[in-house]
Structure 1
Amino acid sequence: MLQEAVDDFLASLAGGEVERSGGSLNTMMAYRNDLGQLCTYILSQGIHDWWQVTHEQLATYMDKMRRGQGYRPATMARKLATMKAFFRYLWHKGAVSVDPTTDVILPPIERDQPQILSSEQIHTLFNCVDRDTPLGLRDLAMLHLLYATGIRTSELISLDVTHFQAQETLVHCVNVRGHVKRNRVLPLTAVAADALERYLTNGRPLLQPAVGQQAIFLNHRGERLTRQGFWLVIKGHAQRAEIEELSPHMLRHSFAMLMLDSGMDLSSVQELLGHAHISTTQLYCHITPGLNK
């Protein structure tokens, strides 16, 4: 009885709401998995029809997923949206007289403190890079850019040679999220600007970029470095520096803390990081003092 209603709902989406919104097979699979989990839970409560489901049971279900299974906020939000869409469908079909998802909200989720690197770890990481090879010059320039600007990985690998202004020691960063384009001008430290200039002068030409290739950071084939390629670079240097679980975002976090420790106000750090909301930047205010010393 429960699964039949789910199957009918999914069938109604084919050619309907999901298709009109550019939905994909992955979207349908997510809906099916989310509602399959919900069915399993409802059956475990001794319920065999959707009209018997209560608001309290769904609220408890959401809390169990957070506490027991540790889903990320984005996954929790998707599962709640799926559940609400499903019960709206049942209500319109007359299968339920009351929508039990009304006022069901996401349970509060405690955010972990951003992980940052100590100054000693930063020093070790930079020193483990081979400065005598084109790829080493590239890697050093990327690491310096990450630490000196807080630039995102996607933004870093999207940089073109025209985005670097050597005389002004600036990089122009273009970040597209959804349909919104946010351009930022990021000042470079003298060390980062020097590392980038040395790579562009002595490293990039030896990687033999293809005609018309504008990417600053190239792979060994002379093509734009991919996100996956960049991750392998970071992972390799982390192993040599004996830093466990290093991620590019840790350098971004470390930059934010460095700026705040130097006296920069929160709104300026927000602008440099490209955060849409100040509440995101405020997370750095709660990092335990001394972690990055």
Structure 2
Amino acid sequence: MWLKTAKKNSASTLNLRLSAIKSFLKYCSEENIELTSYYLDISSIHAFKTSKDSCIEFLSQEQLKLLFSIPDTSTRIERRNCFFMILMYETGGRLQEILDPTLNSIIRDESRVKIILHGKGNKTRSVPLLGQTVRHFDAYLKEFHKQRIRTDYLFYTVHDSTHTKMKQGTVDYFLKKYGSLAKERNEKFPSGLHAHMLKHSIAMAMYKKGIPISYIRDFLGHKSIDTTTVYSHADEEMLTKALESVNDVVNSLPAIKKHWKGNEQYLIALCGLD
């Protein structure tokens, strides 16, 4: 209930946490019979109801442009944060997939740049970087990886003069800050910006462009296409365009004429009002 009321977690997140706690206490009860009562108590807690009609949260192209314009790129850390968001969007990576890579994960040849991402189940995929993203990437490397130590994490924080992997909490902090600032500029900007929203945004952008759902599955690193079909729904913009595309038939119909005009006396008689 603390997660629900104080942290404002969704029903699906609550069920995930509850499942993890149940699994852990089941293990504990098997190791020590004295803990069985705790496992039985929590087993009686039912899962929270989730809405089957709830849509995923994603950012439109205009909202993405607004978000990427928020960081003050006159400062070093803000430039890093801006590139982090750009890379997360362009690769469709999960938060941990973007935090884990070292410079060894970057493959570069004469024609292109690719980043190797390690997903769930130790599944690996190669994601190409294109156009302007490569230029942002080169600028970031020039500033943050001057020595190009291959074992260095791509995104890091400095502790005692040592580069350590950036924490998820660091990303959550600046995403919430930028999200709040974006909300102030545009009231339609979604509340509570989080890392997964960027992943959802690139997936929805691809779907709107007509990219086959199987391609999107491979791009996102999903094991099953059933997971990817969450993106195959129409938002208001897509529905409007769909209706406009089939509206030619209606538009070609002649306007309905009021044939009784000038013959009101017959209408009055038909209604029994004479």
How does the TM-score come out when normalised to structure 2?
Answer: 0.64
TM-aligned CA deviation for residue 138 of structure 1: 1.5
Q: 1:133 Cα shift?
A: 2.6
Q: Distance in 1 between matches of 2:68 and 2:61?
A: 11
Matched with 1:250 is 197
Measure, in 2, the Cα distance between the counterparts of 1:27 and 1:264.
51
Aligned residues: 204
How far apart are 1:186 and its partner, in Å?
Answer: 0.7
Q: Are 2:90 and 1:148 equivalent residues in the alignment? A: yes
Letter aligned with residue 156 of structure 2: L
CA contact (8 A) 1:125 1:238 kept: yes
State yes or no: 1:157 paired with 2:123.
Answer: no
Equivalent residue number for residue 238 of structure 1: 179
Deviation at residue 21 of structure 1 after TM alignment: 7.7
Closer, same or farther in 2 for the Cα pair 1:229/1:71, shift >3 Å? farther
1:123 is aligned, of 60, 65, 69, to: 65
Moved over 3 A (4+): 19-23, 25-31
Residue type at the aligned position of 1:280: T
**Residues 284 and 26 from structure 1, CA distance in 2 versus in 1: closer, same or farther, beyond 3 angstroms?**
farther
Shift of 1:143: 0.8
3-state SS in 1 of match to 2:165: coil
Contact (CA 8 Å) 2:92, 2:202: kept in 1 or not?
yes
Contact 2:29/2:39, CA 8 A, preserved across alignment: no
Residue 159 of structure 1: CA displacement? 1.2
Shift of 1:148: 0.9
- Where in structure 2 are the equivalents of 1:168-179 lying within 5 Å? 168-175=112-119, 177=120
1:139 aligns with 2:57: no
Contact 1:114/1:287 (8 A) holds in 2 = no
Q: How far 1:125 sits from its partner (Å)?
A: 0.7
> Based on CA coordinates, which of the two structures has the bigger radius of gyration?
2
Q: Structure 1 residues 268 and 29 mapped into 2: Cα distance closer, same or farther (>3 Å)?
A: farther
Provide the rounded CA distance (Å) in 2 between the counterparts of 1:154 and 1:162: 16
CA contact (8 A) 1:113 1:287 kept: no
The one of 204, 211, 214 aligned to 2:152: 214
TM-score using structure 1 length:
0.60
- Cα contact 1:135–1:220 (8 A) shared by 2: no
8 Å CA contact retained: 1:137, 1:203 = no
User: Residue type matched to 1:254 in 2?
Assistant: S
Shift, 1:128, TM fit:
1.1
Inter-partner Cα distance in structure 1 for 2:106 and 2:150: 17
Q: Which runs of 5+ in 1 are unaligned?
A: 1-16, 38-64, 73-108
The Cα shift of 1:142 comes to 1.1
Partners of 2:102 and 2:150 within 8 A in 1: no
Using a 3 Å threshold, how does the CA distance of structure 1 residues 137 and 32 change in structure 2: closer, same or farther?
A: same
- Whole-angstrom CA distance in 2 between matches of 1:225 and 1:186: 21
Q: Secondary structure at the match of 1:286?
A: coil
| Sequence identity (%) | 22
1:8 alignment counterpart: none
Cα offset, 1:22, TM superposition: 7.9
Rounded to whole Å, the distance in 1 between the matches of 2:35 and 2:29 is 15
**1:264 corresponding residue in structure 2:** 211
Secondary structure in 1 matching 2:210: coil
Distance 1:259 1:229 in 2: 28
Whether the 8 Å CA contact 2:104–2:150 is kept in 1: the answer is no
Separation in structure 1 between the aligned mates of residue 56 and residue 215 of structure 2, nearest angstrom: 19
Q: 1:26 and 1:252, CA in 2 relative to 1: closer, same or farther beyond 3 A?
A: farther
Aligned residue number for residue 137 of structure 2: 196
Change (3 A) 1:139 1:34: same
